[in-house]
A = this chain, B = another copy of it.
Amino acid sequence: MLLSELSYSVAELAERFGLSSHGDGTHRIDGVGTLAGATASQLSFLSNSKYDAQLSATHAGVVVLREENLTSCPTAALIAKDPYVAYAKIAALFERLPSAPPGIHSSAVVAASARVSNSASIGPCCVIEDGAVIEDGAILGPHCMIGTDCTVGAQSRLVARVTLVIRVTLGKRVLVHPGAVIGSDGFGLAFDKDHWIKLPQLGGVRIGDDCEIGANTTIDRGALDDTVLEEDVRLDNQIQIAHNVYVGAHTAMAGCAAVAGSAKIGRYCMIGGNAGVLGHLELADRVTITAKSLVTSSIREPGEYSSGVPLQANLQWRKNAARFKHLDEYARRLSALEKDKNHE
C-alpha cells in the first residue's frame, strides 16, 4: 500500500468534498485501504452491500458510506450519496505518480519539424516524427513514438511505450497505457482474382478529451474518413477498434472487446469483456452488451443484450451441445406433435 507524505483531517476531507462527517473530525488520514485491510490512519469506503459485514470490524480511521450504514460504523464516517464516487475523488489525493520533469530526455529523438511545448515531458527513448505536436503539460513516458502529423493534447499522459502511427489526434487529458497502438493501418483488402490487394488507409484517428486507452489496445486509422472516439470514452486493455469505427461519448468497453470496421457505437454504452460488434452496425445510446456476446445486427433501443450459453460440467454440456445441432429438427417435430394433437 502506498502512503502519501501528505495527510488530511477528517474535517478537511468533509469540507473539500462537500460531505457531512461523523465522529472525530481532527483524526488524520494519510492513505486509503479496503475495509478489511485499512489501518487507523487510512480511509476506506462501503459502497457494495456485499461488504456490509466487514464494516463493523474495520480498523479504518474513517469510512465513506451512505447514511443508512452509519449506525454500523465503529469509527469516524463521511456520508455520501454515492460513496464510490466520493471515494474515487478522495483517493486521488493519495496517488503518487512517477515524476515527469518538463523537457526532452537526452536519449529521445525529436524531428526538427516537430513542435514540443516547453512544459511537456518527453521520456527516455521516445521518438517524435515530422510534423508532430506535443501540447502543454503533456507527459510521454519511455519508449513512446509520436508519428508523422500526430498531436498529443494538453495534459495528456502516455504512460510508456505508446505508438501513435500517423494522423492521430489526442484531445486534452487523454490517458494511454503501455503497448497501445493508435493509428495503425485498417484491415482493408480487395481480392483481385487470386491474391489480395491492400487499400491504402488515408484517414486518421481522433480521440476526444478525457478518454482512456488500455494496455495493448489497438485503434486503426480510417480508410478515408477518420476513426473517432468522442470525449470520455474509456477502453480497457487489449481492445480492438477497427478502421472508421465511431464511438460516442462516455461509452466504456471492458477488456478484449472488439469492434469491426465502420460500426457506430452510441453514447453511454457499456460493452462487456470480449464482446464483439460486427462491421457497419449501429448501436443506440445506452446499450449494454454483456461479456463475450456477439452483436450481428444493429440495435435501435437502449437496454441490455446478450448471447451465449451457460457453463456446465463438461459431460452434461457435451450432451446438450450435441442436441443443439438438431434444434431445428426438434422444433419441427414439436410442431408436428401439436398439429396431431389438434387434429385428434
Chain A residues with a Cβ under 8 A of chain B = 1-2, 31-34, 37, 82, 84-85, 87-89, 91-92, 94-95, 98-99, 105, 107, 109, 123-125, 127, 129-130, 141-143, 145, 147-148, 159-161, 163, 165-167, 175, 177-179, 181, 184-185, 187-192, 194-200, 202-203, 210, 212, 214-216, 218, 220, 224-225, 232, 234, 236-238, 240, 242, 250, 252, 254-256, 258, 260, 273-274, 276, 278, 288-297, 303-314, 316-328, 330-331, 333-334, 337-338, 340-341
Given A178-B165, A305-B314, A307-B311, A95 contacting B202 (CB threshold 8 A): yes
The minimal Cβ–Cβ distance linking A45 to chain B, given in whole angstroms, is 10
| Cβ–Cβ contact B310 & A306, under 8 A | no
Cα(A109)–Cα(B252), bound, Å = 36
Cα(A188)–Cα(B88), bound, Å = 9
The minimal Cβ–Cβ distance linking A257 to chain B, given in whole angstroms, is 9
Given A127-B143, A258-B255, A199 contacting B303 (CB threshold 8 A): no
The minimal Cβ–Cβ distance linking A253 to chain B, given in whole angstroms, is 9
Residues on B with C-beta less than 8 A from A238 are: 216, 218, 238, 240, 258
